[in-house]
Structure 1
Amino acid sequence: MSRWRHFALVFTFLTIAAVLVGRIAALNINDSAFLKRQGDARSVRVESLAAHRGIVFDRHGEPLAVSTPVVSVWIDPSATRLDANQRRALARTLAIDVTQLAERQQLYRNKSFMYVARRVTPDLANTVADLGITGVRFKREYRRYYPAGELAAHVVGFTDIDDRGQEGVELSFDKHLRGIAGRKKVLKDRRGQIVRDLEYLAAPQFGNDLRLSIDLRLQFFAYRELKSAVEHHRAVSGSVVMLDVRTGEILALVNQPSFNPNGISRIDHGAMRNRAITDLYEPGSTVKPLTIIAALESGRFSPNSSIDTAPGYVRVGKKLIEDPVNRGRISLREVLEKSSQVGIAKVALKLEKRAVFDVFTRAGFGTYPGSGLPGEVAGRLSDAELNNPIVRATMAYGYGISVTPLQLAQAYLGLATLGQSLPVSILRLDSAPEMVRVFDERDVRALVGMMQGVATATGTAPKARVPGYRVAGKTGTTRKVGATGYDDSRHVAFFAGMAPVENPRVVVVVVVNEPKGERVGGGDVAAPVFARIVARALRVLGVAPETEMGRAV
């Protein structure tokens, strides 16, 4: 090689090197900020920090809803092209359909985010990470777990896949329970994995805890007895509500059918309905005590007032109101004890037109209970046709109106408090709320004394008796409305009552919808459920057995 060629090559090499050095220097001096921004855009990201929801407790601190850590697996379809082998590996590990994964990847091909799987366990997420598939990323989240399962499902409710409340207190107190996600700046490698945390921008704010009025022990007793009764009588559904007489707190609220909130994708959505607060029934004879209140308030009747029910029926307009047998002349006390339709209709027709309606209104019918549970309904109570005698007569024994089991329990709460109205609450209260008097105490005392006769050998509900305690209550059996009017083959069985009589601690309402068999009345179907639940509840609550003349009742 000639010397001039050698010098030419050296000169060219030095010139190129000088240009490169100059360019690097220029970039560092003039464009360093731009380059840093471009580098950060490709490797520095802002990630959210999941914030778990608050814990839901029962009144004694037993957890009913907790948040557990989970991981969601995702990809950026616009930047990540999973081949067939990678898709098969992911599908096999995550137990998902490989064909659907391929279809979703194609559908989201121009998107920057696609979930591969939601809410997998951290161990499974680690197994996916060990596959080493470039572009598969992970997002830390929380999911709800419900330790009590179907036992408290209608009260607690559940959240959706994004941890937002959908039913129960999870819905009605969603803002209180929900946390606020935090943010942090991180450095990621080319596969999208976090290499280092750079800066915490905002700490996560965890949700607030919630303590309910529910006593999980009483909830268990009520649920077990209701489920057994519904199955035994082959009923369509059922509900039980138990209230604390001192505070109005809901100690137990259960329904059948129920559901497991830990697996809501595999259940009948009809089972999710909280029937105790949404389903309306004509309450039948369970409202006769309220009609008796109206009679006592009028001053024209006393417990011993004589009512002529002969010959066992009475015609009001075009309707014939009948008793099962001709009871002849009986006292007002016996009208309630025997649940005489003729007797209570005759009493109602002797009162002012609005008398019974006004008592029902003061008892809370036709208004929302305001318990804090979502989906409450107000029921139906109208004064539009009170000029019609048959409307007043049938209203007196619970037809032509509709209430929920919770509304019926709230009405009986007003009797257990000797005439004072008390709001009901699904939250545990630190102190009893202020009561408002709605009925005269003397009238209610007289009524409660009359209601004791229902749970005796001569009453309609001897099966409601609780050993060691006196109870006061009322049965109810109503026919359901069918396509052509009232259906004599479909009934609803009720029992509503309080215990113990001297100083009531609980009010319990039992509703069994459409029981099958020879005996479908409230005294045979609902009253035994009431007795078993109350017997266990009073022992758990530490209520000493009543005594009468030095011996146990």
Structure 2
Amino acid sequence: MLVGGALALCAVALVVRAVDLQLVDNAFYQRKADARFLREVPIPTSRGMITDRNGEPLAVSSPVESLWANPQELANNPAAVARLAEATDLPVDYLTRYISQRREKEFMYVPRHRRINPAVAQKILALRIPGVFSQREFRRFYPQGEAVSHVLGFTNVDDRGQEGVELAFDEWLSGTPGAQKVIRDRHGRIVEHVDLVRPAEPGRDLVLSIDRRIQFLAYRELKRTLLETGAGSGSVVILDVATGEVLAMANLPSYNNNKVSGLNRDAYRNRAVTDLLEPGSTMKPLTVAAALEAGVITPATRFDTNPGWIANGRYRTSDFKNYGVLDTTGIITKSSNVGVSKIVKLLPDRDFDAFLRRFGYGASTGSGFPGEAAGIFPTPESWYGTTKQTLSYGYGISVTPLQIARAYATLGNHGRAVTPTFVKGGHSGESQQVLDPRVAAEVMRMMQTVTEPGGTATRAAILGYHVAGKTGTARKSAGGGYSRRYIAYFAGLVPVERPRFAVTVVINDPDPSGGGSTYGGGWVSAPLFARVMEGALRLMDVPPDDIETWLAAQAVEEAKRAKAHAAATPRTTASAGSLAEAAQ
């Protein structure tokens, strides 16, 4: 009876305790249990895809795995640390020290094993090392690699944009991670999915104005030019004249944004929007346009450039050679520094300053690209005796290649300035009339002579198309003066009748050892322009505007082929006879 009574009391105590746990203090103990085993874990989401204007992928997010571990569990298990070190090819002492520094925490990423190939992660997890787990993440992949890296930029280990479009549109491209409640066992493994707190929202896709095909053409030809000329760097910018859309923007040196390291960070810079350069003779069409608008000259106004130089303070402003008497068009055709210096003297300082600023010099283009430079353009108050003269042919002012391309696009767009954009359809429709369309057309006709026989850029000519452009060869500043190193430019528009493309080519520091004009814009940059535009015009189905020249060239080629065929026919017959004799 004593034993039975004791057992009965124990049974009653158990029932009372059960009632207390299950009914009276249920909520308290449920919270305690949840604190130990219920966790809210993130649901990873992918970043939005970036495509070119034709829907070709430029940046995509692919699923990867990240290994993580519980330092508290590993710190007391040297054998598990050794197995993990062997599986991950990490030194045991390094991994032991790494874990001990975080032993108060419950989470850490395994060193060098974040965002790795899922197959590699599963191979390590298959070893069932205590306290080691993985989680799903996403990693950016760029199919075009270094050809588009300066435009796209890259993301960091947390999938946040760090450069280029990835940074500029980070909020748009970034998704919103979801969250769910799960129950983990004492080993950290998920044993039950309790509740969905919020669903994951993937990032939004972005369609760029870039045409992948034209971009590759520009990058390929830029690399070829740098190899041929021994230049240190270069940039190519191609704009759609009517919309301001950036169709291509290539720079060298470049980098592979699929594998970004901390080395050679100078290569990450998008030189087309960040580097400031003196534009040289690409400024001359704008100087002439300012004078035409002011009514102080006409295309036929004549200027005496003898003896091929003009005083410039203590120095001289010189031409390549003495061109004698030139009209306004001839000054553009021959790129006469003396002629344009005489033109700018006819303009008041403030009028010339205001005109160049209307074309965007001295201010950012508004493209929204991270790190875009506004340029350096001194106000008239700081000008001294020869400042206006040197400005007329592109010295004493610093601009970006994108600013030059925009200024030329304005000339080709009948004097209407449009803000450049990297997004397809990103043009708001707003534009500003900064130049009389009649004056813009006159300047275009003058620039056309630059690429025709007698001009400085005949190597920029494209069969079947009229090309308007301007060369530039600017000395590089060094130590308060100018060195014997150069920047070679060509800025052009094609086709002249209805301009579709505005292009700026900048080749920095070509090797001048060839002497003569082998380092000039007409020799170095103009051929690159022609090769890229030949492909772009064909890819974009732009109809030719110079059918006569094309037909004449076809007739010449046909005549050459016929002559070659006629000359080869007798030799072929004699050869056949010789073979017959040999056979007999």
TM-score bin (small chain): over 0.9
AA partner of residue 273 (structure 2): I
Structure 2 residue 80 is the aligned partner of structure 1 residue 90: no
Alignment of structure 1 residues 231-246 onto 2, 5 Å: 231-246=227-242
Does 2:481 match 1:485? Answer: yes
Q: Identify the residue that residue 48 of structure 1 maps to in structure 2.
A: 42
Please tell me whether the aligned partners of residues 371 and 425 of structure 1 are also in contact (alpha carbons under 8 angstroms): yes
Q: Residue type of the partner of 1:538?
A: L
Match of 2:411 among 391, 403, 415: 415
In structure 1, C-alpha distance between the alignment counterparts of 2:307 and 2:381, rounded to whole Å: 28
Assess if the C-alpha contact under 8 Å between 1:372 and 1:427 holds in 2.
no
Matched, 1:133 2:129: yes
SS in 1 for 2:151: helix
The 1-side partners of 2:179 and 2:468 are apart by 59
Residue aligned with 1:261, SS: coil
Question: Partner residue of 1:3?
Answer: none
Q: Matched residues in 2 for 1:400 and 1:473: separation?
A: 22
CA contact (8 A) 1:423 1:433 kept: no
Q: Within 5 Å, which residues of 2 pair with 1:430-449?
A: 433-449=429-445
The DSSP-based 3-state class of the residue aligned with 1:354 is helix
Residues 282-301 of structure 1 mapped to structure 2, 5 A cutoff:
282-301=278-297
Paired residues of 2:244 and 2:427 also in contact (CA < 8 A)? no
What is the rounded CA distance, in whole Å, between the counterparts of 1:196 and 1:500 in structure 2? 66
Structure 2 residue matching 1:534: 3-state secondary structure: helix
Displacement of 1:230: 1.4
The aligned counterpart of 2:499 is 504
Within the alignment, does 1:546 sit opposite 2:545 as a pair? yes
1:99 shift after superposition: 3.2
SS at match of 2:470: strand
| Stretch of structure 1 that moved more, 108-117 or 275-284 | 108-117
Q: Which runs of 5+ in 1 are unaligned?
A: 1-6
2:114 equivalent to 1:115: no
> For 1:154-200, what per-residue CA distance to the aligned partner results, in whole angstroms no more than 9, with x for missing partners?
11111110011101111011111111111111121221111121111
Select between 118-127 and 24-33 the one with higher mean Cα deviation.
Answer: 24-33
Is residue 311–residue 326 contact of structure 1 (8 Å, CA) maintained in 2? Answer: yes
Q: Where does residue 174 of structure 2 map in the other structure? A: 178
Please report the TM-score for the alignment, with normalisation by the length of structure 1: 0.94
Once structures 1 and 2 are overlaid, which stretch shifts more, 12-21 or 440-449? 12-21
Q: CA deviation at 1:431?
A: 6.7
Is the CA contact (8 Å cut-off) linking 2:75 and 2:100 kept in structure 1?
no
Larger mean Cα displacement after TM superposition, 335-344 or 322-331: 322-331
Q: Deviations over 1:334-377 (max 9, x none)?
A: 11111111111111112222233222111111111111311111
Shift of residue 410 of structure 1?
0.2
The separation in 1 between residues aligned to 2:343 and 2:95, in whole angstroms, is 72
Preserved contact between residue 180 and residue 194 of structure 2 (Cα < 8 Å):
yes
- Residue in structure 2 matched with residue 380 of structure 1 by the alignment: 376
CA contact (8 A) 1:242 1:507 kept: yes
Alignment CA distance shift 1:98-1:10 (3 Å):
same
Amino acid at match of 1:55: M
Matched-pair identity in % = 44
Q: CA deviation at 1:15?
A: 5.2
Contact 2:234 2:251 in 1 (8 A): yes
SS in 1 for 2:97: helix
Three-state SS of the structure 2 residue aligned to 1:400 is coil
Q: Which runs of 5+ in 2 are unaligned?
A: 553-584
Contact in 1 for aligned 2:74/2:80 (Cα 8 Å)? no
Q: Distance in 1 between matches of 2:116 and 2:191?
A: 22
Structure 1 residue 79: Cα displacement: 4.0
Closer, same or farther: CA 549–520 of 1 in aligned 2, 3 Å: closer
- Indicate conservation of the 8 Å contact 1:545/1:552, yes or no: no
Cα distance in 2, alignment partners of residues 141 and 414 from structure 1: 46
- Provide the C-alpha distance between the structure 1 equivalents of 2:457 and 2:106, rounded to a whole number of angstroms: 67
Deviations 1:431-475 (A, max 9, x none): 772332111111111111111111123111111111111100000
Deviation at 1:550, TM superposition (A): 8.4
Q: Secondary structure at the match of 2:398?
A: coil
Equivalent of 2:54 in 51, 60, 63 = 60
Matches within 5 A, 1:76-475: 76-81=70-75, 83-116=77-110, 117-265=113-261, 267-385=263-381, 388-429=384-425, 433-475=429-471
- TM-score, L = length of structure 2: 0.90
Moved more, 195-204 or 390-399: 195-204
SS at match of 1:453: helix
Letter in 2 for 1:35: Y
Letter in 1 for 2:524: V
User: How much is the aligned-residue C-alpha RMSD, in angstroms?
Assistant: 1.9
Greater shift, 79-88 or 260-269, is seen at 79-88
- 1:4 maps to none
Preserved contact between residue 293 and residue 359 of structure 1 (Cα < 8 Å): no
Q: Which residue of 1 aligns with 2:565?
A: none
Contact 2:350 2:380 in 1 (8 A): no
**Structure 1 residue 495 corresponds to structure 2 residue 490:** yes
Q: Deviations over 1:96-150 (max 9, x none)?
A: 4443322210111112221113112222222222111222122221111111111
Alignment partner, residue 523 of structure 1: 522
Aligned equivalents of 2:163 and 2:422: distance in 1?
Answer: 14
Q: Distance in 2 between matches of 1:480 and 1:270?
A: 19
Contact map agreement 1:153 1:258 (CA 8 A) in 2 = yes
Native 8 Å contact 1:354 1:386 kept in 2: no
Give the superposition deviation at 1:23: 3.4
Asked whether 1:33 is paired with 2:27, we answer: yes
One-letter amino acid matched to 1:71: E
CA contact (8 A) 2:73 2:130 kept: no
Query: How far did residue 317 of structure 1 move?
Result: 2.7
Q: Given the superposition, is the C-alpha separation of residues 114 and 482 from structure 1 closer, same or farther in structure 2, using an over 3 Å criterion?
A: same
